[in-house]
Amino acid sequence: MEFLKFLEGIRTPLGELFFLFVTYGGEELTLFGIIGVLYWCIDRRLAYRMTFAYLLSALPVNSLKMLCRVERPWVRDPSFTAVERARASATGYSFPSGHTQNATALFGTLSWTRKKTWQKILLFLIIPMVMFSRMYLGVHTPADVLASFFISLVLVSVLNLIADRVVLAEKHRLIIMLIIMIPAAVTFFYSLYSYRSGALTYANTADAFKGVGGGIGFALCWYLENTYINFDTRCKHIGLQFLKVGIGLAGVLIFKSGIKALFGSNFFTDAFRYFCVMLWAMLAMPLLIQKFFSVDSAEKKKEPAHADNI
């Protein structure tokens, strides 16, 4: 807390504005936006890898939040003040940091897959900037961000090492789907038990329910898209790529916010709306792209039907 109080003492309006911008690097919408653009328009396999990295690190981080139950800095020390505009996205418990986990999964994977050294360094440096922003804004302690960084970095590195070396045969896709679904289901039932028993409030389990819905939706959609659709991201005109992104992100926002507006927030609707987001982004959009946006089938470069990288 002493370090956070030191940062509190040197905050400036310009510094707050700058680090509020930096902290968006770990926001959920940033994750959706970058992965969506990659998936629909540029490189679906890289988008898959980034989403795998996100889920692989999100489930243990969310589980640790519920197990450790460390309160936010301003709760632990009422004399401390966080930047008010940053508190809206500071949901659930403090340890470990979800924004750090998001940034490590997203930019760590992007950095890993780049060939040029300057690109690797530039992308990786975004992670410590997001980490520092969370402390500067007063919503996380050094222990929160460092623990999340090291946990996520190990898991993301393992995933990328495997992805670089392994080509998944079609017969292994079902196994991979279950590898994601099973821990997601365990997290769901643990979260539900903790909530129903009164050990945790809904606010402190909400992120876990969202992650479970998204994780199960992703696992199912990954299997179905690779097995039955295998769409082409290319378009004849660049304008169609912008149109794809607009339609895709509009659908994500409609499902993400519309279901919440209609049915409110509870453990079922949160899991369901994130499940629907995945269905829209990973199945409905590829079908629309295949039908209306892709290059003519005669121009497509056929991918091997029997193999697929993570």
Tens of pLDDT, residues 149-160 = 999 999 999 888
Q: Is residue 159 located within the same domain as residue 171?
A: no
Q: Is residue 140 located within the same domain as residue 161?
A: yes
pLDDT band at 305 (very low <50, low <70, confident <90, very high): very low
Place of tokens 């109080």: 5
Of 114, 149, 165, the domain-final residue: 165
pLDDT band at 285 (very low <50, low <70, confident <90, very high): very high
Q: Is residue 129 located within the same domain as residue 260?
A: no
Q: Is residue 84 located within the same domain as residue 185?
A: no
Which pLDDT score is estimated for 310? 58
Q: Show the tokens assigned to 305.
A: 């039907």
Q: Is residue 28 located within the same domain as residue 146?
A: yes
Of 117, 150, 165, the domain-final residue: 165
| Better pLDDT: 50 or 208 | 50
Q: Is residue 117 located within the same domain as residue 100?
A: yes
Q: Per residue in 87-96, pLDDT tens?
A: 877 777 888 9
Which pLDDT score is estimated for 304? 46
Alpha-carbon gap, residue 50 to 163, rounded angstroms? 11
From 97, 81, 110, 112, select the one nearest 27 (Cα to Cα).
Answer: 97
pTM for the model: 0.84
Alpha-carbon gap, residue 272 to 207, rounded angstroms? 13
Q: Is residue 75 located within the same domain as residue 92?
A: yes
Q: Is residue 44 located within the same domain as residue 152?
A: yes
What's the mean per-residue pLDDT of the chain?
86
**Could you write out the DSSP letters of every residue in 203-229?**
TTTHHHHHHHHHHHHHHHHHHHIIIII
Number of domains observed in the structure of the chain: 2
Q: Is residue 22 located within the same domain as residue 160?
A: yes
Q: Is residue 193 located within the same domain as residue 206?
A: yes
For residues 253-259, average pLDDT: 90
Q: Is residue 147 located within the same domain as residue 38?
A: yes
Which residue range(s) make up the domain with 308? 167-310
Of 124, 149, 165, the domain-final residue: 165
Radius of gyration of the chain (CA): 20
Residue 79 pLDDT more than 50?
yes
Q: Is residue 62 located within the same domain as residue 141?
A: yes
